[in-house]
Amino acid sequence: MYTIVTTAILLIFLTSGHYTLDVQFHSNTPDVIPKARTSKGITLKVALYPFLPDSAGDNFANLTRFIREEFVKVQPDIDLQLRPLSQDADFYSLATLKSWLLSNGEGYDIVEIDTVLLGDVVNAGLIAPIFPIPDNHSDWHPTAARAVQFNQVVYGYPHLMCANFLFTRNEQVAQVKTLDQLIHILGSTPTDKYRLIGNLNSSWDLPGLWVNSYQNSNGMGSDVQAFAVHSYQTTSFESMRKLSQLCERSGGENYCLNGVFRNNATMIASLFATKQAAAMIGYSERLFLILKNTQPDDYLNIKIIPLTVGSVDNQPIYFTDAFVFRRNMSDDVANAARSFVEFMNTPRMQAAVVGSEDSINPKLRYLLPVSRNAFNEPILANDRFYQQYFRNLSVGYPFTTLGFPNARQDIQKAIYVDKVDRLPGGFMNFTCRIHFKTELEHTPSEKVDGADSEDCVSSLSNRTSNERSTSPTATETCAVSNRQHEIRTG
């Protein structure tokens, strides 16, 4: 009876005029979970999403200490226990999340997840809906508000966002809206210099760019990404071929495809920082590495636009990290959990985290705050990139919250393999050969990713079985995820 009444109240609230969210839209180290404290007070156990730049270079020790110290000032009776931020943990594994979000309280009370997993986590019965809707939700970026919904129910508190951007110093490039316009400016003929750089050799990044391209080529419908993820078999991957060709150099090299950029996570930002590339694909956090490696007088030259991979528009598609709650919390723990996430979503704390206030000499992390008022906080108000570019991104799409983790490798294989006959000698055929050959000839001590490369190689009849390798590479950590390890980290 209690469940029925609670559900009824939630449905009434969601359909009332007071609800302003748009519901039509989105380790290698043993994990020791602290035991709940039995003395007076509430223990709250939280696993924060760890894939952000380590601006202090201390494995986030200052960040976790800063969060605890600030939280105790406002909630001294809550014993906040934060999981050490480790990028060895697989936050993209449903099995990991099942072991953490235990309804009996023996895991974590709150886990910060990438909402690309939200639908899968909901369907697994791991988390509870958010009720009541927080008072500060009107301050959320509208795309983040959509990203934490599934089946028109809010399941998380959005925390931070990111999206793929195009970094450039070229004023003309900074004005483009479509992929064809970008090709026109950068040129369709390979040169000995880098025109475009970015990692396309990934079962996370390449399919993610495909979804981005499909959305920005097929309009604003909320179901567009579903077709990109689940009906790609009947679709041309022409946009991915065009994008990859911008990476080609006159000597035949294509580091975006052949594993060089994948295996050297910081090389992309370093090349752009030292002015060796006209344009760069990367998440907003990559600006942390660019500014770390460039000259101070270059600060005013760098321009940023949402990545142009579509044929109609270039609206950003956002990834959102959100706090989700385990099921069956007691009232005391649930109240403590709400206190923590609302504290983390205040403009001040949002700005403090992305602005590296935990560091003695702050180097901004350049993640995007969910709080729109965070841009008014002093640490962000004086930063050119946050004010000139990021705060004006009021539109966009949330990345799909269901099905992508399971579909991504099949999408990558389709892009690499299924179009060989349709485009002989072109992007798909070229990629398979390069992906396999480069790993064998240039990185013999590391074998290529078994799941992706085995299927790619098996489609080429001139390869023999003894040329194949089946062990996962150490650098394709995303089996933990390329998105985690190579892009989201600094």
Share of the chain above pLDDT 90, in %: 65
Other CB atoms within a 10 A radius of the CB of residue 189 amount to: 9
Other Cβ atoms within 10 Å of 82 Cβ, number: 21
Residue 126 in this model has a pLDDT that exceeds 80:
yes
- Model pLDDT, residue 90: 92
DSSP 139: G
Residue 148 in domain:
yes
What's the token pair of residue 294? Answer: 């460039």
pLDDT band of 41, cuts 50, 70, 90: confident
Confidence of residue 325 (pLDDT cuts 50, 70, 90): very high
Mean pLDDT across the stretch 114-138? 91
Compare 37 and 271 and report the one with higher pLDDT.
271
pLDDT of residue 83: 96
Structure tokens at 334: 């649930």
**Residue 285: per-residue pLDDT:** 95
Residue 190 domain-assigned? no
pLDDT, residue 417, reads 55
Structure tokens at 97: 């999340």
Taking 80 as the threshold, does the pLDDT of residue 158 lie above it?
yes
Looking at the domain assignment, is residue 103 inside a domain?
yes
User: Is the per-residue pLDDT at 454 higher than 90?
Assistant: no
| CA-angle at 144, arms to 125 and 27, nearest 5° | 55
Provide mean pLDDT across the span 233-256.
89
Whether 215 and 202 have beta carbons less than 8 Å apart is answered as no
Residue 46 forms part of a structural domain = yes
Range of the domain at 394: 2-160+322-398
What confidence tier does 252 reach under pLDDT thresholds 50, 70, 90?
A: confident
Band of the pLDDT at 99, cuts 50, 70, 90?
A: very high
Phi/psi of residue 177, each to 5°?
A: -120, -20
pLDDT per position as a tens digit, 176-204: 999 999 999 999 888 899 999 999 999 99
**pLDDT for the residue numbered 267:** 96
The CATH number assigned to the domain holding 131 equals 3.40.190.10
C-beta atoms surrounding 102 within 10 Å: 16
pLDDT of residue 394: 84
In a domain, 459, yes or no: no
Q: How far is CA 112 from CA 129, 318, 353, in A?
A: 15, 16, 14
DSSP 137: G
Residue 80 lies in a domain: yes
| CA dist., res. 273 & res. 454, Å (int) | 35
In the structure, what pLDDT confidence band is assigned to residue 422 with cuts at 50, 70 and 90? very low
Query: Mind listing the pLDDT tens digit for each residue in 289-303?
Result: 999 999 999 999 999
Examine the pLDDT at 400 and tell me if it is beyond 90: yes
Q: Which among 208, 126, 121 has a CA at the least distance from the CA of 407?
A: 208
Distance of CA 396 to the CA centre of its chain: 15
Mean pLDDT of 95-104: 97
Long-range contacts formed by 460-464: CB under 8 A, 24+ apart: 460/432, 460/433, 460/436, 463/436
Q: With respect to residue 419, please indicate whether it lies within any of the assigned structural domains.
A: no
Q: Give the pLDDT confidence of 329-383 residue by residue, as tens digits.
A: 999 999 999 999 999 999 999 999 999 999 888 899 999 999 999 999 999 999 9
Mean confidence (pLDDT) of the chain: 80
* Model pLDDT, residue 447: 27
Whether the predicted pLDDT of 230 surpasses 70: yes
Asked if the structure places residue 9 within a domain, the reply is yes
Considering its fold, how many domains does the chain have in total?
1
**Mean pLDDT along residues 134-154:** 91
Across 157-165, average pLDDT: 96
Average pLDDT over residues 314-320: 94
Residue 37 pLDDT > 50: no
